[in-house]
Chain A
């Protein structure tokens, strides 16, 4: 056991409480809600010691509320998340479209203190543990990014998910991708974004690679290129996940750090990155937090490969003509679509169709040497007669592309593969590590998953699979009871960790994929204990 003073049992009396030993004190203090727990830690050396023991490991607390009144829902999730000891290092709030984000941000900001970085995003649906019934729920609602259906928005279940994380050993802050609004052009300051992230990491940990980055993009600007550059700039150990297209607001722990004080120009953030960097002042004896990413794919290929011939940008769309691979004839929109029409018509459900374009571009961040990389990115097919009309931009003549369609069967199979891979992260026997604070038997390299975050395509969910909670099932099956939250969004950002990769890359490993559609990206946060030799300060 520990060195704490054993229960002194002298005969009761007025100062009875003073004779309560630290082990009993622990039984009392672990029942406190977070705010009172913080007070308790400031009472005396003994109380502080006990509190440090109770809250020594990383913890994620998350709650979902479907209360139709937004203010009440907000209160419910805050109360639930702060009902146990936790010290907030960051917070992510996901809401439906009925919530005033600015007000919500203020409310949560007050509850969590000025130094806590907070991100709030509104998407097409939320995933979380219902505060009342303690079960994981997937709730799709709000406005579809793809289409507006007035029926849906009336009885769409709105809701709020709040996730608060305690991550000792890491430092967290929000880095914005600034959008310089000038008279003639809009510039996304992507290079500055990458440099800011790197500099934050260096300042916190002494090394330029953060542990993980969670991105939120506004979908208006082309976030894909920022995500691709981030993928290029960060080594594989850095986890990258996120939501391409949503509405967001944020509060940095230190706002002055990133927004330039110079000039009178208007800066808005087109995207933000919640950056997790190692803390160079981490206590010895504290283990390591690692991020792992898995991806469940939802698309299957169809038809022959094509090569873009002429490319025209029209508003937010691109108009293409193309050749079939290896052939000379240039096809117009009709011709290109004919290649897949027959095959598509045989399907029972009308799937969503995309083209996956392989873009070979030169990437360069800052003063580094330029490098050529290939990325696969998806553009929704809108139709076309004279030209093939697809969403988005960034396609160039000569780019190869192939058609993809949303495939529930493939998605389900992919989910099962992901689940099998996650099993390898599961320590297996002892899933109850979090309670036995003083009594745990430390085995070398013992690690467990303490929280998760899911980014799922709005196209998936109940209607896609004809079944409940499919996307969250790999996580819930493997880590029952572990806090998890997530969103349904319009474009998922993520790249697999080597340990959790299920992709058979047909194109070889040279083509990278960081922006996806119809997929589900899973972020797992795990904690690995320090080897027993390390000194433990308590």
Chain B
């Protein structure tokens, strides 16, 4: 849960600014109420709906043993984590022996960003583009993590990024980029080429 950002009340404020700040306060308050209502339905343990309660976090443990905290709201983007939270397995650190710390940190960052309220679509898109503007091997690791944690938006983003990487490449170039050995026999190779002949002319 977010802590309220209490607006500074100063004698010198104009009436309209005071109104705006009151409105902002009101909005954040109603947001807190709705968030806490949501939490109440997903958590069996009681939690007051007052803004002053501590935010519920989930702890994730990377393959090297490093721990990362992620707010429950953000964690809900992962179907895997959501299931665990629903079944009350999320109170102790969740081990993820398949995901390195470096990657897990970024995945947490992604989920946090996408759980933020009030970010406009344009800037989120730009943020996403920057997020995948990294080395190929890192993107692959993101894919594996997103697949395991079942984060559809991240999987979508990273798969599209890899698809963009492949666009326009010949088979040889693809093999080189992804370090893949083609295990075709010469006959298989010929047949496969013939099937797809149209694109090579």
Contacts and interface: CB of A to CB of B under 8 A. Distances in A.
Interface of A: 7, 9-21, 24, 27-29, 31-36, 38-45, 47-48, 87-88, 110, 112-116
Contacts of A114: 198, 201
Contacts of B148: 7, 9
Given A29-B163, A48-B192, A38 B200 contact: yes
Contact of B198 (A18, A31, A47, A113): A113
Contact of A16 (B144, B160, B169, B184): B144
A42 B188 CA distance: 10
B195 A41 contact: yes
A1 to B, nearest CB: 14
A15 B179 contact: yes
A17 B169 CA distance: 17
A39 B144 contact: no
Contacts of A27: 155, 159
A16 B140 contact: yes
Interface stretch (B4-12, B122-130, B170-178): B170-178
A17 B198 CA distance: 28
B196 interface: yes
A45 B183 contact: yes
Contacts of B180: 17-18, 43-44, 47
Given A24-B143, A113-B198, A41 B159 contact: no
Interface residues on B, range: 35 or more
B195 A43 contact: no
Given A24-B147, A29-B163, A115 B192 contact: no
Contacts of B137: 12-14, 16-17
Interface in B152-200: 155, 159-160, 162-163, 166-171, 174-175, 178-184, 188-189, 192-193, 195-200
A29 B180 CA distance: 15
B140 A113 contact: no
- Interface of A, secondary structure class, is loop
Given A17-B178, A18-B180, A43 B196 contact: no
B103 interface: yes
A28 B159 contact: yes
Chain B CB within 10 Å, residue with most, of A7, A10, A11, A15: A11
Given A36-B168, A40-B166, A12 B198 contact: no
Nearest to A39: B171
B168 to A, nearest CB: 6
B181 A44 contact: yes
A43 B199 contact: no
Contacts of B67: none
A47 B171 CA distance: 11
